[in-house]
Chain A
């Protein structure tokens, strides 16, 4: 059971938009930055969003992040088949004194 809760799976058609939620508490999301990672099959995770809504260099603006209270959301627009991957949210938990990841969400582009 992960400290951060994500839906196990989401799906949408190519070209459409999808959102992935990440729910936590005041000890983690509520008082710390959230980041998002994409893991393509058989590869290492890749940073997509940091500090709630910032994109590293090279990440297209189709990917966006937001945070409100104790929840965060990853948005992906203009879906492509290459976006099929597992997506993870993560943040520091001030009560546990360690980093926590969500359980991951598998994105299927139909």
Chain B
């Protein structure tokens, strides 16, 4: 059974940093692109970033470029999102999702809440 479990969310002050993790199991992690998607309270889905199987390609939505870094550790079956210079507008539930190679996201984690507030 495919499982994706996010962790690392919490309350952080504006300008602060946070590192999210996503533990994957039930599939060959190193064979898939992986993605982070977020959802602000009461709002729609917003794609954040994705990363190729070997980490050689990464893409980011414009609003997080230069502040967020996506990475992965295939030996640990884990995906990460390092978030720096956090802003109030980054407040959201962050989901990790398995990427079918830019065609769809077929498995999603339960999400982890990030709140940026003083």
CB 8 Å contact bits of B22-57 with A (1 = contact, 0 = none)? 000000000000010100000011110010000000
> Is B76 interfacial (CB-CB < 8 Å)?
no
Write the nearest CB–CB distance from A79 to chain B, whole angstroms.
Answer: 22
Q: How far is the CA of A97 from the CA of B61 in the complex (A)?
A: 8
Q: Describe B's contact surface by its main secondary structure.
A: strand
Q: Are A103 and B44 in contact (CB under 8 A)?
A: yes
Q: Are A35 and B45 in contact (CB under 8 A)?
A: no
Contacts of A47 in B (CB 8 A): 104-107
Q: Are B108 and A88 in contact (CB under 8 A)?
A: no
Contacts of B35 in A (CB 8 A): 99
Q: Which of B61, B62, B105 has the most CB of A within 10 A?
A: B105
Count of chain A to chain B residue pairs whose CB atoms are closer than 8 Å in the complex: 64
For the complex, count residues of A whose C-beta is within 8 A of B.
26
Answer whether A98 and B47 are a contact pair too, CB < 8 Å, given A32-B102, A50-B103, A92-B102.
yes
Q: How far is the CA of A86 from the CA of B44 in the complex (A)?
A: 9
Contacts of B107 in A (CB 8 A): 47
Q: Are A45 and B108 in contact (CB under 8 A)?
A: yes
Answer whether A44 and B45 are a contact pair too, CB < 8 Å, given A33-B103, A99-B35.
no
Contacts of A46 in B (CB 8 A): 108
Q: Are B44 and A104 in contact (CB under 8 A)?
A: yes
> Is B100 interfacial (CB-CB < 8 Å)?
yes
For chain B, residues 65 to 118, give those with C-beta under 8 angstroms from any C-beta of chain A.
95, 100, 102-111
Q: Are A99 and B102 in contact (CB under 8 A)?
A: yes
> Is A109 interfacial (CB-CB < 8 Å)?
no
Can you add 16 more A-B contacts, CB < 8 Å, to A46-B108, A99-B102? Answer: A32-B102, A32-B103, A33-B102, A33-B104, A35-B104, A45-B45, A47-B105, A90-B104, A92-B102, A96-B62, A98-B60, A98-B62, A99-B47, A100-B47, A101-B47, A104-B45
**Interface positions of A (Cβ within 8 A of B):** 2, 32-33, 35, 37, 39, 44-47, 50-51, 56, 86, 88, 90, 92, 96-104
